[in-house]
């Protein structure tokens, strides 16, 4: 008895036993019952000729003898009992793991062909990642054995058989066409393909017969037809009913002579990526496929939630689940019915919106809007349910109140791309994600529309390297106020009807040509006259505009072999830009949204060769000397192929993007597979997708595709001249605006509209900065880009990552901190990019403290640059897939850093790499600015270049000189001009905020207050050096909470002496103690006219002038080149002016001057006494005074309400020690401030530098000099924990200083900690013991702590903590690797890998202060290296 719980296909086959060869197959014994299995099929024998038997089939029955429960001997006897000449009816079961079915078609003479198709029920994934089924006996084509015809002739052919839906498949409602193709959907052409129709007729007679189950005990029960999810009709066996195309039952004898059992519905395997997955005990439940309820009472109430589609070339079966989406409210019936296919109708009703008839109700709009917004947020890789909710509420409210709403720019971009992705007729959809959207929803007249279209054409043409783009004009409010492009495509050739009925030019455009002529266009009566654009704004009568000749790129057609071809004078345009299609997005209608892709060669060939078009085929054939007298010479086919050759050859020779139909269909198949994976299906209109020539030799021909409508979508709409109500221009001849006149008017228009028109493409400039430099650069970049783009600066931390995939142009400016880490405000974005690009890795990292960005750029492949810049040699058309998350993004990155750090600009490199990995298109190689040398110059060069490339890429800024735009680089600052800022003294109703509040506003950070409680000098001896322990009382600020290892940020106060010198130099003698407010002059255009006002500057709070210079602005860092340029403008003395100008170029002169003299603001003003400097200039231009960080040196458990810091007092002389004395701003402030005074501060958690969660893990602490600071908090904490009875692990401390008697910090405290077990081992390195060689911590590590390090760090998962100077940290890192290498006897590489692993696992901790040790020497040597390498 067969196991009924398993899927098994049953086949009934009639075989006539021959006298020689018998039934024509051999059998062997099976271990289980039924016992007989087919082991061989004799070539040319009876079984072979039926094509119905396969090796592995289990024989269940011979005539009336049931073999399912008999012995092998009995079974053989039954088989032998069949006499030669008699027909044996065999019931066979397909071998385990396979399913079979028969498919029968009839040719036009009524002959049946039946195919047995056997496939594994387990899909296998082939090398391309496509799922396919194992088929019996290898490549599945061999299994397409065509079966005997009714008249007994057996044929065996490899031929595809197209299966179509039976009546009972309720999907039939969806089976026909809705879509817009790139194939000239705009003109009434005859149906594009006739072949499919022929094929359709053939397949329309397809019959599929299946029965439901294995027979029980040999009795084949038959039952009525049922629906099952995979679309087969099935019966229970017995008197099977057969379904023809129309679902009519027909007599068995008429059509087939075999029966096949399909898998039962409940045994359908679940779907993964639209491809059947093997059934597993866990995953399979009968309910995994939920039937969708269908109301029709006449049909089954089961509707499939997926539909199986077969590829008849490869045998692959895929399941489309996406179509179920269109069954929701957003769907529109396709117009096809079970008896009527609209596949070949050009503009079927259901694909059109006629504004006169289809007015969308508020409810419908609401439903579509909600659906769209959900789609939009659902599409994001990063979910943001809060934002989605908020946005939905906004949209609903707007529709409720006003009947409509506006899409955000990001939603518009998503909508446009998705509409393209959803267009079933378009073959080039693999590019859907790479669509440039131009948003011109703000225009209000035709001149502005024309300007937008010129921009579109220019961008799209790109000197032949065509780019897909779409331009949006205002959405429909009332169709009588529509914006429309009357031309069906931007570039159309005129058609002139002649009195004799003939047509000169393109017959498709005769009607439109007449419209143009009526509007005043002058006909030229040529064959290829480009028609003007006819544009309508706001429902007004349209205006006509000549397309500037240099924007209408055309290709003259020639043939690679036929010289005469060129003389025929054919040509065609380069850009197919469809302009009469309506975009239907989120319930909103955009009747003017012209878009373009690029041509497929066959389209152009059809435009010229179709009978209803230029109809040139006969001319070509005659030139080729073909016999055109009768069609069987195939002259039409031959000439058409050669015409196609000519088209492809001409476009390729002119380097204009074009696709041949083979590549196009191949890329579509790739897209189809992608879409199945990504969204479980891909709507497609087979009739349109199959190319008009050579259909069956392209892969799409053999692919079943499902046609359905999803929203957003593209819709046809009636020609506007058919219903436009003329306001006055009708029949009044109006001269077409020619380009020269127009250029003038557009220019005027553009300048009137100011930036709104000029800034067409959005540019987002992201920055991350610790000390403010990157922000400055980002702002400068923004100034430059605002000359041609709509640029804005956003801090990485304020950026909502959900927008990233809809950005067009992204510029990133960021520094690197720590030891290759991001600035604090860049951490989240960096982490998110890692997660997006390597979801698995970031998952692995979740347990660790932070992502190591240093490793990201090291392992990534070299720079990828898909150039789309026209100035460079044009790449081969970039027509590959565009499925990466950021496929539409152009980006460029500039990194700020210092070569004194081992990981120079590491974070910028990581961002650059990650954006590239996410498929972003790099406009320019990463720029690097080294603060030690040439940072300004590197930036200015990079900024200019990237602006130029961006302008070229987006075809904007033609009228903008790069030099002029880059003026911001040279200091013609965006914000400074004498009349732009002023100081208001004692302004009315203005009060000075408390300093904490002022600083909080200024730095956009919560700043708290503490009091200096105690200060202790930790050094003895050297007069000139000092390290202090400062203790702050934090009791008044409850928000000051920290853990050992965290940092405190302190806002210092500038030295009084420097402030005094600056105040003295100010030209406008404002009382330094008076309350002042910086004000900015603003002009706004309002409906009432231009309004000018002095408004308070948002940045600087009201304060006294002294407070501003003491607390808010950085006056000690060397002034920037930009500021020097402003000083140059204010200098009265020519020599000073010249010198300032020289320095302001930011080149080597500036670098030298800065390096040697490190002049502060007061010194610069003293060096250039003729500079008339006003307070408003400085207050508007200076950079903020940044906080300084200190590692907290106390435990809050031991010192509640206190924060302690160990501070090295920074003081040095410029010029390598021989110049002026300098004092570090913050350290000297902390050293001089009175006890009891307030400090302004905040806590910065350093999560990656906390004590281990597992307190018994061994810890090795290494910190020379002030690097000991955080370790004091560690040992205090451990002492406290020990007192509390907590079990703690071993701790070894390694400290380094110059001399044990002079700068041995916390000597006594360390001893105390050692005594109580908080420190278990203590080691020192003294560098300046007289007569002794220098000993640094890394030396001691190698010499004295090698065993410990090996034991703790390699064997016991111990932690290492390194704190202080960056060079020291790197030296220690190297020393540690050396120790591991030697002690563990491993290779250098393995040692490095171990350390990297420790970092990734959060066992290796660094707290880097920057370059603090031997600052001058380090900087000097790095600088020298740089200068030398530059010279080389």
Interface positions with ligand FMN (CB under 6 A) = 769-774, 815-820, 823, 896-898, 901, 903-906, 931, 1408-1410
Q: Within positions 1347 to 1376, which residues make up the interface with ligand NAP, using CB under 6 A? A: 1364, 1367-1368, 1371
CB 904, min distance to ligand FMN, A: 4
* Partner interacting with residue 1225 (select from ligand FAD, ligand FMN, ligand NAP, none; CB below 5-8 Å by kind): ligand FAD
Choose between 871 and 1329: whose C-beta lies nearer to ligand NAP.
Answer: 1329
634: left (phi over 0), alpha (psi -120 to 50) or beta: left
Answer yes or no: are the C-beta atoms of 944 and 888 closer than 8 Å. Answer: no
Residue 928 forms beta bridges with which residues?
Answer: 895
Task: Give dist(CA 386, CA 828) in Å, integer.
Answer: 19
Find the shortest distance in angstroms from Cβ 1211 to ligand FAD.
Answer: 8
Task: Please report how close the Cβ of residue 1003 comes to ligand NAP at its closest, in angstroms.
Answer: 25
Q: Which residues pair with residue 1326 across a beta bridge?
A: 1297
Which x/- pattern, by CB under 6 A, does the window 1193-1222 give for ligand NAP?
---------------xxxx-----------
Place of tokens 């403290």: 849
Of 95 and 1223, nearer to ligand FAD (C-beta) is 1223
When CB distances to ligand FAD are compared, the closest residue is 1224
Residue nearest to ligand NAP according to CB distances in the complex: 1265
For residues 99 and 92, the answer to whether their CB atoms sit within 8 Å is no
Residue 1191, binding choice from ligand NAP, ligand FAD, ligand FMN, none, Cβ under 5 to 8 Å by partner class = ligand FAD
**Interface region with ligand NAP, contact rule CB under 6 A, candidates 725-733, 884-892, 1271-1279, 1290-1298:** 1290-1298
- Minimal CB distance residue for ligand FMN: 897
Q: Which of 334, 713, 1054, 1227 binds ligand FAD (CB under 6 A)?
A: 1227
Residue 686: active-site member: no
DSSP sequence for 146-197:
EPPPTTS--------------TT-GGGGG-S-----SS-TTS----S-SHHH
Looking at 184, 814, 1266, 1277, which residue binds ligand NAP (CB under 6 A)?
1266
CB 891 within 8 A of CB 923: yes
Interface map 1009-1048 toward ligand FAD (x if CB under 6 A): --------------------------------------x-
Q: Residue 1327 Cβ, how far from ligand FMN at the closest point, in Å?
A: 22
41, 79, 45: which is closest to 62 by C-alpha? 79
CA of residue 1329 relative to chain centroid, distance: 60
Site string for ligand FAD, 1048-1067 (x = CB under 6 A): ----x---------------
Q: Which residues contact 653 (CB under 8 A, 6 or more apart)?
A: 558
Tell me the HSE value of 636 on the side-chain side, using a 13 A CA sphere: 10
* Candidate list 30, 562, 1410, 1421; residue touching ligand FAD; CB under 6 A: 1410
Q: Which one of residues 483, 1189, 1326, 1404 is an interface residue with ligand FAD (CB under 6 A)? A: 1189
598 is catalytic: yes
Q: Is residue 1234 exposed (0-12), middle (13-18) or buried (19+ Cβ within 10 Å)?
A: exposed
Q: Choose the catalytic residue: 312, 598, 635, 976.
A: 598
> Scanning residues 1310 to 1329, which ones bind ligand NAP (CB under 6 A)?
1327-1328
Nearer to ligand NAP, 1211 or 1344 (CB): 1211
Choose, by CB under 6 A, the member of 735, 1025, 1084, 1283 that binds ligand NAP.
1025
- Contact positions with ligand FAD (CB under 6 A) in 1086-1145: 1116
* Residue closer to ligand FAD, measured from CB, 504 or 1205: 1205
Tokens, residue 860: 């990534």
Pick the closest to residue 1374 from 1414, 1337, 1409 (CA basis): 1337
1047 binds, among ligand NAP, ligand FMN, ligand FAD, none (CB under 5 to 8 A by kind): ligand FAD
- Confirm or reject binding of residue 1412 to ligand NAP (CB under 6 A): yes
| Cβ neighbours of 506 (radius 10 Å) | 23
**Residue 1367 near which of ligand FAD, ligand FMN, ligand NAP, none (CB within 5-8 Å, type-dependent):** ligand NAP
Identity of the residue, 931 or 1303, whose beta carbon is nearer to ligand FMN in the bound complex: 931
Dist CA 661 CA 1064 (whole Å):
78
Which is catalytic among the residues 119, 589, 603, 642? 603
Q: Alpha-carbon distance 1408 to 1262, whole Å?
A: 12
- By the rule CB under 6 A, 1027 interacts with ligand NAP: yes
In Å, what is the CA distance from 1097 to each residue of 152, 321, 525, 1244? 96, 57, 64, 29
- Should residue 904 be labelled a site residue for ligand FAD when binding is judged by CB under 6 A? no
1368 binds, among ligand FMN, ligand NAP, ligand FAD, none (CB under 5 to 8 A by kind): ligand NAP
DSSP 13-55: EEEEPBTTTBTSEEEEE-SSSS-EEEEEE-TTSHHHHHT---T
Give whole-number Cα distances, 734 to 517, 882, 1015, 1328, in Å: 9, 45, 88, 94
Q: 603 catalytic, yes or no?
A: yes
Asked if 1226 interacts with ligand FAD (CB under 6 A), we say yes
Listed residue (414, 390, 409, 172) closest to 300, CA to CA = 172
501: left (phi over 0), alpha (psi -120 to 50) or beta: left
Nearer to ligand FMN, 424 or 1364 (CB): 1364
- The beta-strand segments (E) located in 42-138 are 58-62, 65-66, 87-93, 98-106, 112-125, 131-135
3-state secondary structure of 1032: strand
Would you count residue 1224 as binding ligand FAD (CB under 6 A)?
Answer: yes
HEC letters along 975-1000 = CCCCCCEEEEECCCCCCCCCHHHHHH
Binding residue for ligand FAD, selected from 48, 702, 1125, 1188, defined by CB under 6 A: 1188
- H or E element at residue 216: none
Catalytic annotation present for 426: yes
x-or-dash string of contact with ligand FAD, 1204-1223, rule CB under 6 A: -xxxx-x-x-----------
- Minimal distance, residue 1410 CB to ligand FAD, in Å: 5
DSSP helix, strand, coil percent of the chain (3-state; round to 5): 35, 20, 45
Q: What's the closest the beta carbon of residue 1023 comes to ligand NAP, in angstroms?
A: 9
Whole-number Å distance between alpha carbons of 661 and 692: 9
Residue among 90, 519, 1297, 1375 that touches ligand NAP (CB under 6 A): 1297
Measure the CA–CA gap between 78 and 75, rounded to whole angstroms. 5
If one asks whether residue 1416 binds ligand FAD (CB under 6 A), the answer comes out as: yes
Sign of the C-alpha dihedral computed for residues 208, 211, 214 and 215 taken in this order: negative
Helix (H) / strand (E) containing 1240 = strand 1238-1244
Encoded tokens for 861: 């492949």
Q: Which stretch binds ligand FAD (CB under 6 A): 470-478, 661-669, 1225-1233, 1256-1264?
A: 1225-1233
User: Least separation, in Å, of the C-beta of 1364 and ligand FMN?
Assistant: 11
Find which of ligand NAP, ligand FMN, ligand FAD, none residue 1103 binds, CB within 5 to 8 Å per kind: none
The residues assigned a catalytic role are: 426, 429, 598, 603
The binding site for ligand NAP (CB under 6 A) comprises 1025-1027, 1208-1211, 1264-1266, 1296-1298, 1303, 1327-1328, 1334, 1336-1338, 1364, 1367-1368, 1371, 1412-1415
Binding stretches for ligand FAD (CB under 6 A) = 1047, 1052, 1116, 1188-1191, 1205-1208, 1210, 1212, 1224-1228, 1266, 1269, 1409-1410, 1415-1416
């Amino acid at each position: 008895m067969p196991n009924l719980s398993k899927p098994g296909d049953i086949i009934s086959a009639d075989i006539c036993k021959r006298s020689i060869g018998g039934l024509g197959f051999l059998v062997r014994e099976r271990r289980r019952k039924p016992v007989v299995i087919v082991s061989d099929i004799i070539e040319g024998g009876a079984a072979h000729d039926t094509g119905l038997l396969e090796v592995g089939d289990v024989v269940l029955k011979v005539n009336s003898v049931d073999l399912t429960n008999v012995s092998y001997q009995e079974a053989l006897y039954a088989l032998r009992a069949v006499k030669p000449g008699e027909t044996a009816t065999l019931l066979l079961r397909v071998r385990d793991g396979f399913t079979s079915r028969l498919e029968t078609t009839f040719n036009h003479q009524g002959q049946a062909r039946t195919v047995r198709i056997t496939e594994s029920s387990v899909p296998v994934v082939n090398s391309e990642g496509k799922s396919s089924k194992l088929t019996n006996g290898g490549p599945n084509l061999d299994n397409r054995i065509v079966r005997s015809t009714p008249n007994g002739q057996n044929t065996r052919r490899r031929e595809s058989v197209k299966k179509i839906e039976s009546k009972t498949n309720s999907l039939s409602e969806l089976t026909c066409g809705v879509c817009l193709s790139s194939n000239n959907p705009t003109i009434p052409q005859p149906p594009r393909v006739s072949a499919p129709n022929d094929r359709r007729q053939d397949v329309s007679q397809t019959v599929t017969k299946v029965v439901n189950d294995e027979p029980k005990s040999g009795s084949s029960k038959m039952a009525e037809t049922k629906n099952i999810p995979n679309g087969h009709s099935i019966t229970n066996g017995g008197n099977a009913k057969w379904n023809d195309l129309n679902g009519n039952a027909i007599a068995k004898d008429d059509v087939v002579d075999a029966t096949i059992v399909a898998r039962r519905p409940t045994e359908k395997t679940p779907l993964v990526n639209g491809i059947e997955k093997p059934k597993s005990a866990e995953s399979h439940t009968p309910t995994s496929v939920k039937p969708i309820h269908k109301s029709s009472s006449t049909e089954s109430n089961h509707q499939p939630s997926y539909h199986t589609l077969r590829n008849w070339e490869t045998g692959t079966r895929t399941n489309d689940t996406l179509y179920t989406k269109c069954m929701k409210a957003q769907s529109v019936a396709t117009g096809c019915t079970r008896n009527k296919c609209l596949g070949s109708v050009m503009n079927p009703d259901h694909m059109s919106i006629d504004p006169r008839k289809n007015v969308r109700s508020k409810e419908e709009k609401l439903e579509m809007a909600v659906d769209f917004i959900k789609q939009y947020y659902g599409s994001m890789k990063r979910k943001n349910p809060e934002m989605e909710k908020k946005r939905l509420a906004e949209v609903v409210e707007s529709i409720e109140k006003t009947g409509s709403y506006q899409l955000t720019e990001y939603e518009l971009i998503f909508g446009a791309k998705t509409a393209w992705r959803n267009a079933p007729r378009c073959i080039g959809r693999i590019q859907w994600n790479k669509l440039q959207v131009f948003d011109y929803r703000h225009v209000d007249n035709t001149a502005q529309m024309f300007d937008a279209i010129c921009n579109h054409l220019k961008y799209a043409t790109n000197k032949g390297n065509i780019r897909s783009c779409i331009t949006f004009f205002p959405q429909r409010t009332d169709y009588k106020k529509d914006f429309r492009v009357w031309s069906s495509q931007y570039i159309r050739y005129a058609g002139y009807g002649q009195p004799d009925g003939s047509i000169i030019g393109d017959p498709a455009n005769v009607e439109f040509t007449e419209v143009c002529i009526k509007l005043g266009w002058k006909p030229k009566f040529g064959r290829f006259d480009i028609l003007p654009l006819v544009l309508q704004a706001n429902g007004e009568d349209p205006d006509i505009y000549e397309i500037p000749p240099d924007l209408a790129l055309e290709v003259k057609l020639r043939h690679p072999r036929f010289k005469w071809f060129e003389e025929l004078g054919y040509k065609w345009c380069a850009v197919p830009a469809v302009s009469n299609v309506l975009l239907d997005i989120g319930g909103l209608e955009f009747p003017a949204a012209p878009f373009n892709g690029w041509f497929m060669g066959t389209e152009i060939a059809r435009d010229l060769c179709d009978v209803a078009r230029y109809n040139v085929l006969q001319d070509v054939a005659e030139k080729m000397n073909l016999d055109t007298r009768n069609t069987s010479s195939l002259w039409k086919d031959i000439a058409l192929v050669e015409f196609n050759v000519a088209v492809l050859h001409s476009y390729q020779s002119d380097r204009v993007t074009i696709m041949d139909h083979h590549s196009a269909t191949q890329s579509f198949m790739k897209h189809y597979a992608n879409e199945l994976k990504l969204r479980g299906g891909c709507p497609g209109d087979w009739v349109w997708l199959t190319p008009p020539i050579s259909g069956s030799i392209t892969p799409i021909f053999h692919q079943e595709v499902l046609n359905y409508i999803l929203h957003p979508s593209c819709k046809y709409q009636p020609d506007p001249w058919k219903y436009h109500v003329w306001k006055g221009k009708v029949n009044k001849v109006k001269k077409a605006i020619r380009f020269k006149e127009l250029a003038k008017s557009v220019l005027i228009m553009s300048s009137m509209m100011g930036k709104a028109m000029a800034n067409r493409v959005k540019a987002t400039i992201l920055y991350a900065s610790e000390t403010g430099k990157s922000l400055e650069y980002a702002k400068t970049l923004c100034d430059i880009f605002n000359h041609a783009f709509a640029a804005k600066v956003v801090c990485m931390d304020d950026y909502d990552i959900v927008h990233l995939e809809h950005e067009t142009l992204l510029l990133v400016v960021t520094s690197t901190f720590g030891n290759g880490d991001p600035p604090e405000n860049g951490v989240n974005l960096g982490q998110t990019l890692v997660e997006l690009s390597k979801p698995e890795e970031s998952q692995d990292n979740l347990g660790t403290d932070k992502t190591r960005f240093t490793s990201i750029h090291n392992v990534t492949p070299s720079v990828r640059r898909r150039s789309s810049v026209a100035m460079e040699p044009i790449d081969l058309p970039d027509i590959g897939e565009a499925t990466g998350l950021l496929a539409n993004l152009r980006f460029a990155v500039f990194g700020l850093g210092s070569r004194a750090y081992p990981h120079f600009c590491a974070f910028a490199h990581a961002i650059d790499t990650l954006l590239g990995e996410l498929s972003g298109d790099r406009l320019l190689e990463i720029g690097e600015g080294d603060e030690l040398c040439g940072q300004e110059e590197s930036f200015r060069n990079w900024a200019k270049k990237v602006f130029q490339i961006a302008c070229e890429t987006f075809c904007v800024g033609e009228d903008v000189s790069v030099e002029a735009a880059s003026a911001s680089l040279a200091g013609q600052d965006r914000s400074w001009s004498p009349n732009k800022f002023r100081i208001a003294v004692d302004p009315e109703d203005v009060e000075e905020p408390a300093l904490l509040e002022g600083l909080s506003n200024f730095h956009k950070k919560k700043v708290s207050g503490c009091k200096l409680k105690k200060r202790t000098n930790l050094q003895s001896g050297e007069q000139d050096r000092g390290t202090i322990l400062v203790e702050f009382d934090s009791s008044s600020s409850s928000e000051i909470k920290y853990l050992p290892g965290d940092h405190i940020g302190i806002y210092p106060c500038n030295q009084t002496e420097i402030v005094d010198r600056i105040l003295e130099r100010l030209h406008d003698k404002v009382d330094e103690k008076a309350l002042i407010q910086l004000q900015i002059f603003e002009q706004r255009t309002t409906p009432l006219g231009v309004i000018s006002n002095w408004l308070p500057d948002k940045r600087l709070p009201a304060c006294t002038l002294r407070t501003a210079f003491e607390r808010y602005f950085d006056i000690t860092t060397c002034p920037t080149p930009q500021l020097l340029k402003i000083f140059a403008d204010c200098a009265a003395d020519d020599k000073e002016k010249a010198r300032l100008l020289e320095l302001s170029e930011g080149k080597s002169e500036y670098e030298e001057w800065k390096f040697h003299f490190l002049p502060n603001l007061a010194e610069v003003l003293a060096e250039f006494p003729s500079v008339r400097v006003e307070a408003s200039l400085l207050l508007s231009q200076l950079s903020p005074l940044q906080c300084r960080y200190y590692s907290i040196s106390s435990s809050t458990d031991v010192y509640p309400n206190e924060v302690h810091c160990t501070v090295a007092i920074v003081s040095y002389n410029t010029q390598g020690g021989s110049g002026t004395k300098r004092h570090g701003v913050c350290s000297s402030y902390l050293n001089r401030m009175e006890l009891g005074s307030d400090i302004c501060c905040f806590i910065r958690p350093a999560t990656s530098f906390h004590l281990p969660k597992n307190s018994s893990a061994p810890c090795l602490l290494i910190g020379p000099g002030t690097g000991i600071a955080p370790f004091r908090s560690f040992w205090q904490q451990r002492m406290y924990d020990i007192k509390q009875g907590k079990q703690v692990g071993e701790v070894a401390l390694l400290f380094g200083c110059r001399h044990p008697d002079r700068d041995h910090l916390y000597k006594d405290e360390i001893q105390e900690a050692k005594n109580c077990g908080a420190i278990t081992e203590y080691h020192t390195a003294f560098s300046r013991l007289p007569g002794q060689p220098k000993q640094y911590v890394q030396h001691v590590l190698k010499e004295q702590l090698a065993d410990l390090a090996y034991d703790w760090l390699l064997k016991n998962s111990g932690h290492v903590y390194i704190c202080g100077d960056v060079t020291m940290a790197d030296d220690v890192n190297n020393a540690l690797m050396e120790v591991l290498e030697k002690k563990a006897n491993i290779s250098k590489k393995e040692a490095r890998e171990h350390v990297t692993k420790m970092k990734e696992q959060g066992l290796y901790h660094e707290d880097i202060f920057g370059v603090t040790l031997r600052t001058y020497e380090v900087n000097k040597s790095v600088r020298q290296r740089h200068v030398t390498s530059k010279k080389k």
